[in-house]
């Protein structure tokens, strides 16, 4: 066990002492909160539905009544405490989810990247590099690799990805602490990292687990610090590689030679008018070279995307200065493979206490390398940072950023956009921002100010927020009490509809606006999802329509439509939807039953395709009265029509429900 683990507890203690000064002011008593839903013309029932729409991944059957019964304020309180038992989630995650409990160190040494695997294979002498690649697709190679992995206890990277993806689906669908899960989704997206980047993929799971989820209801500054120090962000935005330019480790002779050559080339080109363009490019490259050690990516994105916002009042100079303050913020070498183990041996040889005396900091897997830090004076957002600040400089930058008024405004707008409307009012934003500042970024307090504003409730009637694909699939699962045995299938559908979660490449995260989610291709996929889900064509996702209606057989297809509309879209105005669907539903009913009967009696004479064609004109005549309709039908057809509405996976109910799930109403929050 590496020595740095022993001092972990020590640094935590100091961190706690340091942090007490920034502890946010606690949210006010819940009993006193005032939810002005009646001012927005909502009944208590409708208000509960709205609350569940925004603060959960969708209401489960009967949940609205339960929230009304316990009181909306109490429900909010319970969700903000986020301490409800998680029996269902734990049960579902008990088998096949080994990765969820691993540390970063265990993860990187278990789920190896393909490039690491190749190196290990070569190193172990089981295969030399050449033969490995040459034989890459032969069965011999695969069995050899499998043997190697088994003997070393290694597992494929795809397995890590899969467990990460699956646990998100399970938690969102079945967690009792819904607000916590909704906020985990929100803050992860705000501080986005991606599985698409080779260097960060091993850390995405622990990032969500350790940096995001435990802090989503605490304070913004805690989230900011936790993300800043996590290996996932350090790798994804390259800060792990950012070192002071004064520590030039390259070959100085070669560097000087290259510089000479470059200068001469650029001089030559400046003279030649046809090569001005090239000269410009060369200059840019030379400039980048000069700053080779310094990497500004994290510095830029922490201000543009995480805190101040693009118009938050910082300059390029600030970006460079912040980058200098964060030089040396990196990841402890935890990998047993590649260069990591050598680096670790070196650190261990020198010893933690010696290194700490030199200004190194070790916290979990975060490491501050004093020897790579730019020790000179800095000037950031108008504040002077004296030379030699070391690790504390980065901490001070985090504090300056999280308490900046631009950050307050930027964060509150993002929260309001997610939970209220794509276009929040200035008054709402003003009040939320004021709370951000007075509570020092306490997330619960900001959320309370939001729900105490009438705008939050007014948005209930507009339904202008469109569900993201992930929200759509999970709300369908929740609304139907579906049993998701294979969560990866749910992920595949989300991908099809445009949200391949955990794989969004850019640090911006998925855009939070309806126009991003809704376009021709994605909308068709949403409709197809509704049909596939309701008719149980998604492998590993099961549901029981009859049970949802307490096994009451609806008396007519009209009644079935009313009942299941209310189950799937509770507290919405159904009448228009039902009116429009009614004539179509009759066709669906007959069609579905004929198909079901055909499937049940493939050899029977009861149903023939002839009958289907003969009856078609009649079926489509929706205006014919019921008795006329029935009289006109043959005896055989009547038998078919008397089958239960819920029979088979292609039952009329399933098809109608599929249409409701794919309908515009179900896409809206």
Partner 1 sequence: MTNRRAFMKSGAMALFATGFAGGLPSFLARAADSHKLSVNYKKGKILVCLFQRGAMDGLMTVAPYADMQFKAARPNLYMSPAVTEGKLFDLDGRFGLHPALDQLFPYFTEKRMAIVHGVGSPNNTRSHFDAQDYMESGTPFNKGTASGWLNRAVGLMGHDATPFRAVSMTSAMPRSFYGDNESLSISNLQDFAIQMRGNPMAANLAAKSFEELYDQTSNGLLNRAGKESFDAIKMLNVNTIKNYKPAEGIVYPASPLGNSLKQIAILIKMNVGLEVAFAESGGWDTHFNQGTANGAFARNLKDFGDCIAAFWKDLGAYQDDVTLMTMTEFGRTVHQNGTGGTDHGRASCLFVLGNDVQGGTVYNNIQSLAKDALEDGRDLPVTTDFRSVFSAVANTHLKINNNNVLFPTWNGTPLKLMKA
Question: In the Cβ-directed half-sphere of 463, how many Cα atoms lie within 13 Å?
Answer: 15
Rounded Cα distance, 612 and 494, in Å: 36
Question: Is residue 577 close enough to count as binding partner 1 by CB under 8 A?
Answer: yes
Q: Does 289 bind partner 1 (CB under 8 A)?
A: yes
Q: How far apart are CA 452 and CA 37, in angstroms?
A: 9
In terms of Cβ atoms closer than 10 Å to its own Cβ (0-12, 13-18, 19+), residue 21 is exposed
Quick one: which of 507, 554, 570, 648 contacts partner 1 (CB under 8 A)?
507
Piece of 42-50, 289-297, 401-409, 626-634 that binds partner 1 (CB under 8 A): 289-297
Helices (H), 97-241: 104-108, 114-123, 129-134, 139-152, 157-174, 178-190, 204-206, 220-228, 231-236
| Binders of partner 1 in range 458-477 (CB under 8 A) | 463-464, 466
| Residue 535 binds partner 1 (CB under 8 A) | yes
The dihedral through the CA atoms of 546, 548, 550, 552 has a sign that is negative
> Which of 306, 431 has the CB closer to partner 1?
306
CB of 289 to partner 1, least distance (A): 7
Interaction between residue 591 and partner 1 (CB under 8 A): yes
Q: Using CB under 8 A, pick the residue from 25, 387, 506, 622 that binds partner 1.
A: 506
| CA-based nearest residue to 112, from 169, 141, 150, 142 | 150
Parallel, antiparallel or unpaired: strands 155-156 and 111-112: parallel
Shortest reach from residue 457's CB to partner 1, in Å = 19
Shortest approach of partner 1 to residue 189 CB, angstroms? 13
Contact track, partner 1, 290-329, x by CB under 8 A: --x---xx--xx--xx----x-------------------
Instruction: Judge contact between 447 and 415, C-beta under 8 A.
Output: yes
Q: Which of residues 537-556 bind partner 1 (CB under 8 A)?
A: 537
**Binder of partner 1 out of 395, 588, 611, 640 (CB under 8 A):** 588
With binding defined as CB under 8 A, does residue 521 bind partner 1?
Answer: yes
By beta-carbon proximity to partner 1, the closer residue of 388 and 521 is 521
Shortest Cβ 159–partner 1 spacing (Å): 20
- Report which of 645, 663, 668, 658 is spatially closest to residue 480, judged by C-alpha positions: 658
Decide whether 347 or 420 has the Cβ nearer to partner 1.
420
Per-residue mark of binding to partner 1, 630-659 (x: CB under 8 A) = --------------------x----x--xx
Q: Does 519 bind partner 1 (CB under 8 A)?
A: yes
Piece of the chain touching partner 1 by CB under 8 A; list 47-55, 75-83, 105-113, 194-202: 194-202
Q: Which of residues 238-267 bind partner 1 (CB under 8 A)?
A: 238, 254, 257-258, 261, 265
Q: Report CA-CA distances (Å) from 37 to 47, 49, 228, 454, 669.
A: 6, 11, 38, 7, 17
* Nearer residue to partner 1 within complex by CB, 29 or 287: 287
- Binding to partner 1 by residue 558, rule CB under 8 A? no
Alpha carbon 410 to its chain centroid, in Å, reads 20
106 binds partner 1 (CB under 8 A): no
Nearer to partner 1, 111 or 666 (CB): 666
Separation of alpha carbons 277 and 335, rounded Å: 44
**Could you say which residues in the range 268-287 bind partner 1, by CB under 8 A?**
275, 277-278, 280-282, 284-285
Task: Compute the chain's Rg from CA coordinates.
Answer: 30
Q: Is the Cβ of residue 106 or residue 297 nearer to partner 1 in the bound state?
A: 297
Instruction: Pick the closer one to partner 1 by CB: 22 or 516.
Output: 516
Positive/negative CA dihedral, 90, 93, 95, 98: negative
User: 3-state secondary structure string, 126-168?
Assistant: CCCHHHHHHCCCCHHHHHHHHHHHHHHCCEEHHHHHHHHHHHH
- Region near partner 1 per CB under 8 A, out of 155-163, 203-211, 530-538, 622-630: 530-538
CB 382 within 8 A of CB 374: no
Binding residue (CB under 8 A) for partner 1 from 580, 630, 631, 638: 580
> Is the distance from CB of 514 to CB of 573 less than 8 angstroms?
no
> CB of 511: closest distance to partner 1 in angstroms?
7
Is 413 near partner 1 (CB under 8 A)?
Answer: no
What are the phi and psi torsion angles at 466 (to 5°)?
-100, 140
Number of neighbours of residue 191 by Cβ within 10 angstroms:
26
User: Considering only residues 454, 503, 618, 629, which one is a binding residue for partner 1 as defined by CB under 8 A?
Assistant: 503
CA distance 469 to 471: 5
The reply to whether 392 sits near partner 1 by the rule CB under 8 A is no
Residue 593 and residue 641: Cα distance in Å, rounded?
7
549, 553, 555, 565, 617 from 559: Cα distances, Å: 12, 10, 6, 10, 24
Shortest separation between residue 164's beta carbon and partner 1, angstroms: 17
Say how far apart CA 164 and CA 204 lie, in whole Å: 8
Q: How many CB atoms lie within 10 A of CB 540?
A: 12
Answer yes or no whether residue 152 interacts with partner 1 by CB under 8 A: no
According to the binding rule CB under 8 A, does residue 531 interact with partner 1?
Answer: yes
Choose between 33 and 514: whose C-beta lies nearer to partner 1: 514
DSSP-derived secondary structure letter, 65? H
CA separation, residue 415 to residues 212, 220, 451, 648 (Å) = 16, 12, 12, 43
Mask for 154-193, x = binds partner 1 (CB under 8 A): ----------------------------------------
Q: Provide, rounded to whole angstroms, the least separation between the CB of residue 222 and partner 1.
A: 23
Q: Which of residues 20-39 bind partner 1 (CB under 8 A)?
A: none
CB of 480 to partner 1, least distance (A): 18
- Candidate ranges 167-175, 216-224, 556-564, 575-583; the one touching partner 1 (CB under 8 A): 575-583
The site for partner 1, by CB under 8 A, has a size of 85
The secondary structure element, H or E, covering residue 361 is strand 361-363
Nearer to partner 1 among residue 301 and residue 393 (C-beta)? 301
Angstrom distance (rounded) from CA 191 to CA 396: 19
- Shortest approach of partner 1 to residue 233 CB, angstroms? 12
Kindly state the DSSP code that residue 423 receives in the 8-state scheme: S
Does residue 393 bind partner 1 (CB under 8 A)? Answer: no
Q: Three-class SS of residue 542? A: strand
Q: Which of 500, 502, 541, 669 binds partner 1 (CB under 8 A)?
A: 500
Residues between 602 and 621 with contacts to partner 1, criterion CB under 8 A: 612
């Amino acid at each position: 066990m590496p020595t740095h683990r022993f001092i972990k507890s020590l640094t935590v203690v100091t961190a706690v002492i340091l942090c007490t000064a920034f502890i946010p002011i606690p949210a006010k008593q819940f009993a006193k909160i005032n939810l002005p839903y009646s001012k927005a013309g909502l009944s208590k029932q409708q208000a509960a539905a709205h609350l569940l729409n925004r603060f959960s991944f969708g209401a489960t059957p009967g949940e609205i009544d339960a929230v009304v019964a316990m009181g909306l304020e109490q429900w909010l309180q319970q969700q903000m405490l986020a301490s409800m038992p998680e029996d269902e989630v734990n049960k579902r995650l008990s088998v096949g989810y080994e990765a969820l409990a691993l540390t970063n160190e265990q993860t990187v040494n278990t789920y190896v990247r393909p490039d690491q695997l190749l190196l290990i294979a070569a190193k172990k002498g089981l295969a030399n590099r050449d033969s490995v690649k040459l034989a890459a697709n032969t069965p011999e190679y695969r069995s050899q690799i499998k043997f190697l992995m088994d003997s070393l206890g290694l597992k494929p990277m795809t397995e890590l990805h899969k467990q990460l993806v699956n646990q998100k689906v399970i938690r969102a669908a079945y967690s009792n602490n819904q607000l916590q899960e909704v906020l985990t989704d929100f803050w992860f997206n705000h501080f986005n990292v991606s599985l698409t980047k080779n260097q960060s993929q091993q850390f995405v799971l622990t990032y969500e687990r350790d940096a995001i989820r435990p802090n989503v209801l605490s304070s913004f500054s805690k989230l900011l610090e936790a993300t800043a120090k996590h290996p996932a962000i350090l790798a994804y935005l390259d800060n792990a590689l950012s070192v002071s330019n004064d520590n030039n480790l390259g070959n100085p002779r070669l560097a000087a030679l290259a510089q000479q050559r470059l200068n001469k080339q650029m001089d030559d080109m400046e003279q030649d008018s046809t090569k001005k363009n090239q000269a410009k490019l060369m200059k840019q490259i030379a400039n980048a070279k000069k700053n080779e050690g310094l990497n500004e990516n994290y510095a830029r994105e922490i201000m543009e995307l995480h805190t101040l916002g693009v118009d938050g009042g910082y300059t390029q100079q600030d970006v460079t200065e912040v980058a200098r303050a964060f030089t040396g913020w990196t990841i402890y070498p935890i990998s047993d493979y590649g260069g990591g183990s050598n680096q670790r041996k070196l650190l261990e040889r020198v010893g933690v206490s010696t290194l700490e005396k030199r200004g190194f900091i070790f916290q979990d897997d975060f490491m501050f390398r004093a020897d790579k830090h730019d020790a000179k004076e800095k000037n950031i957002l108008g504040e002077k940072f004296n030379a030699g600040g070391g690790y504390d400089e980065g901490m001070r930058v985090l504090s300056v950023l999280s308490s900046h008024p631009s950050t307050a405004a930027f964060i509150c707008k993002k929260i309001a956009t997610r939970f209220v409307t794509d276009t929040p009012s200035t008054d709402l934003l003003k009040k939320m921002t004021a709370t951000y500042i007075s509570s020092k970024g306490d997330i619960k307090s900001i959320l309370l100010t939001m729900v105490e504003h009438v705008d939050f409730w007014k948005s209930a009637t507009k339904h202008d927020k469109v569900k993201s694909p992930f929200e759509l699939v999970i709300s369908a699962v929740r609304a139907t009490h579906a049993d998701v045995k294979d969560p990866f299938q749910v992920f595949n559908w989300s991908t099809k509809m445009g949200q391949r979660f955990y794989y969004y490449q850019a640090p911006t995260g998925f855009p939070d606006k309806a126009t991003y989610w809704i376009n021709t291709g994605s909308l068709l996929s949403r409709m197809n999802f509704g049909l596939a889900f309701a008719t149980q064509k998604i492998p590993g996702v099961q549901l029981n329509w009859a049970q949802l209606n307490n096994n009451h057989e609806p008396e007519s297809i009209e009644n079935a439509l009313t009942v299941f509309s209310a189950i799937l879209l509770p507290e919405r105005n159904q009448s228009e939807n039902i009116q429009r669907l009614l004539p179509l539903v009759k066709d669906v009913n007959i069609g579905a039953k004929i198909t079901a009967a055909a499937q049940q009696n493939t050899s029977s004479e009861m149903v023939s395709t002839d009958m289907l064609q003969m009856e078609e004109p009649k079926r489509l005549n929706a205006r014919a009265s019921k008795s006329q309709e029935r009289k006109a039908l043959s005896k055989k057809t009547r038998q078919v029509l008397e089958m239960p509405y819920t029979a088979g996976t292609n039952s009329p109910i399933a098809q109608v429900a599929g249409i409701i799930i794919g309908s515009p109403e179900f896409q809206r929050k």
